[in-house]
Amino acid sequence: MQSRTPPTRAGRPRSAAADAAILAATRAALVELGWSRLTLGDVATRAGVAKTTLYRRWAGKNELVVDAVAELFDELRLPDHGSLAADIEGVVLQFAALLARPEARSGLMAVVAEATRDETLRDRIRTSIVDRQKRLVLEGRARAQSRGELPPEPGPEEAARTADLIFDMVAGAVVHRTLVSAEPADEEWVRGFTRILLTGLATHSPFGGPALLEELGGV
Amino acid sequence: MQSRTPPTRAGRPRSAAADAAILAATRAALVELGWSRLTLGDVATRAGVAKTTLYRRWAGKNELVVDAVAELFDELRLPDHGSLAADIEGVVLQFAALLARPEARSGLMAVVAEATRDETLRDRIRTSIVDRQKRLVLEGRARAQSRGELPPEPGPEEAARTADLIFDMVAGAVVHRTLVSAEPADEEWVRGFTRILLTGLATHSPFGGPALLEELGGV
DNA sequence: CCATTACGCTACGGGTCGTAGCGAAAGCAT
DNA sequence: ATGCTTTCGCTACGACCCGTAGCGTAATGG
């Protein structure tokens, strides 16, 4: 009964090799030229395909670069280093190394900029990149909770909100450090970041304990 | 003895009104067209100047948009709300409101993307935007220290490092939340963010106190 | 063998870029 | 006033990239 879009359609199938070649060529062009000087004609030439072939698969530059960059993020892993602090430091250093690569730097920020005016592109980024990497937060939290380093979540809704918040804080800080402030997220920076994320700014403050919690209005 | 570049040079002076009109037209074009569809010819027409006039003052689209966006950030203020938590929440909400404006959204991220391949543009962003807004962190910290909410800094070098770190954490989280995750940084989110920033993730954890500090390797 | 789809290639109108050249306008110095 | 200098508006230009149309060919399934 699968009348529309059968699993194997008639006619010549699309070349999977062409897809891979185009995405690799896109990353290479991002390295050499950056976003603004990257042209689809040049990418097609690098990939050894016709420009029309490229336009048959992607609507434009934005969609192509999102797919080319998204593949990079799947390399991130969260090995068990024995403690929450070490786990965070490890994944943040990985993320910093990823953002040190020019194809990730210029590509990611450019598509984010374009996505501010393109609802469809926003969804594509969310599903292809953002949501895929939230797995790291969920995995790290579950591991820390099983170690007793973090309290269990009061409910599923609150748990999801907190996970999103952590993700924005970690990814946002690294992105801002490396791309906006344009300073390296080296080990010293990562240690300081992890410390504040885990214990807060007010550590060792005379009012940093219960008094500060009251001030925040409780849970 | 100011032989070179005297305070008042000979010839017709540049029109200050034209500068303002061009920057305003740039922001208007960002709102309507976004970064990629914005053309310098269109901006010149909107501003009522010739295209050549625009090229005499700015090297290109990147430099123009940096200047147009930088003006927006000078609106940020840090009123005294009586506590560090309230001060942070106030300025973060301001920043979120700023990033909700389309001219700031698309403009800021686009120039950051371009800056990844342009050293000169990076410096321009740093001096025009980033360094100017670090005043907020310094002011907030000094105020909190005078209230006794934060401990004094051990030394000037460490103090500068911490200020940079805080700035990246605050600005990065808001930018990532609004532009990458594409969710609103509303009051509820800001409260959660401030809580974690001040007291840390491990609050109320059975090992969240001294044990966690030892794990981090001390100060 | 035939229908169907993908592919490579060429060519095209349309738009933007950044610059050159020119005469006119608007300041300063004498 | 009268030069001198610099900016301004305008027009025109070659160069580049865009996105699509058209065509013949290649690869697959029925």
pLDDT along chain A (219 residues), means of 10: 56 94 98 96 97 97 97 96 98 98 95 94 95 97 97 95 98 97 97 97 58 48
A53 and A96 housed in the same domain: no
B124 and B81 housed in the same domain: yes
Q: Does residue B82 lie within any of the structural domains?
A: yes
pLDDT-based confidence at B80, cuts 50/70/90?
very high
Helix/strand/coil for A81? coil
**CB pair distance less than 8 Å for B212 and A165:** no
Q: Which residue is nearest to nucleotide D28 (CA to C1')?
A: A12
Q: Does residue A181 lie within any of the structural domains?
A: yes
A89 and A139 housed in the same domain: yes
Give me chain B's average pLDDT, please: 91
CATH number of the domain that B206 lies in?
1.10.357.10
**CB pair distance less than 8 Å for B150 and A199:** no
Distance CA B83, CA B13 (A): 49
A117 and A77 housed in the same domain: yes
Q: Can you give the pLDDT at residue A203?
A: 73
Q: Does residue B116 lie within any of the structural domains?
A: yes
A121 and A164 housed in the same domain: yes
Q: Does residue B179 lie within any of the structural domains?
A: yes
Q: Which domain holds residue B80?
A: 70-215
Q: Can you give the pLDDT at residue A11?
A: 86
Q: Does residue B166 lie within any of the structural domains?
A: yes
Length of chain A: 219
Residue with tokens 């001294």: B210
Residue B62 has which token pair? 């990147």
Distance B16 CA to C17 C1' (A): 26
B185 and B153 housed in the same domain: yes
- Closest Cα partner for B192 from B177, B206, B207, B182? B177
Distance B59 CA to D29 C1' (A): 57
B91 and B199 housed in the same domain: yes
Q: Which residue of A has its CA nearest to B106?
A: A113
Q: From the centroid of its chain, how far is CA A102?
A: 15
Distance A22 CA to C11 C1' (A): 24
Q: Can you give the pLDDT at residue A216?
A: 56
Helix/strand/coil for A82? coil
Mapping DSSP onto H, E and C, the string for B168-182 reads HHHHHHHHHHHHHCC
Q: Does residue B9 lie within any of the structural domains?
A: no
Q: Which residue of A has its CA nearest to B132?
A: A181
Q: Does residue A125 lie within any of the structural domains?
A: yes
CATH number of the domain that A43 lies in?
1.10.10.60
A51 CB below 7 A from strand D atoms? yes
**CB pair distance less than 8 Å for B116 and A125:** no
Exposure of B111 by Cβ count < 10 A (0-12 exposed, 13-18 middle, 19+ buried)?
A: buried
In a mutagenesis test of the B interface, which of A116, A137, A166 is the best target, namely the one with the most B β-carbons within 10 Å?
A: A116
B14 CB below 7 A from strand D atoms? yes
B16 CB below 7 A from strand D atoms? no
End-to-end CA distance of chain A: 54
Distance CA A126, CA A141 (A): 21
A88 and A48 housed in the same domain: no
| Nearest nt (C1') from B43 Cα | C16
Q: Does residue A93 lie within any of the structural domains?
A: yes
* Angle at alpha carbon of residue B173, lines to B170 and B176, rounded to 5°: 145
Q: How many helices (H) and strands (E) does chain B have?
A: 11, 0
In a mutagenesis test of the A interface, which of B66, B108, B112 is the best target, namely the one with the most A β-carbons within 10 Å?
A: B112
Q: Can you give the pLDDT at residue B219?
A: 39
- Closest Cα partner for B24 from B74, B75, B68? B68
Distance B13 CA to D5 C1' (A): 10
B167 and B106 housed in the same domain: yes
B81 and B185 housed in the same domain: yes
Q: How many domains does chain B have?
A: 2
B77 and B49 housed in the same domain: no
DSSP B104-123: HHHHHHHHHHHHTT-HHHHH
Residue numbers in A 8-47, CB below 7 Å of strand D: 8, 10-13, 39-42
Q: Can you give the pLDDT at residue A202?
A: 83
A172 and A142 housed in the same domain: yes
Q: Chain A residues with CB inside 8 Å of B108's CB?
A: 113
With 60 as the cut, is the pLDDT of residue B159 above it? yes
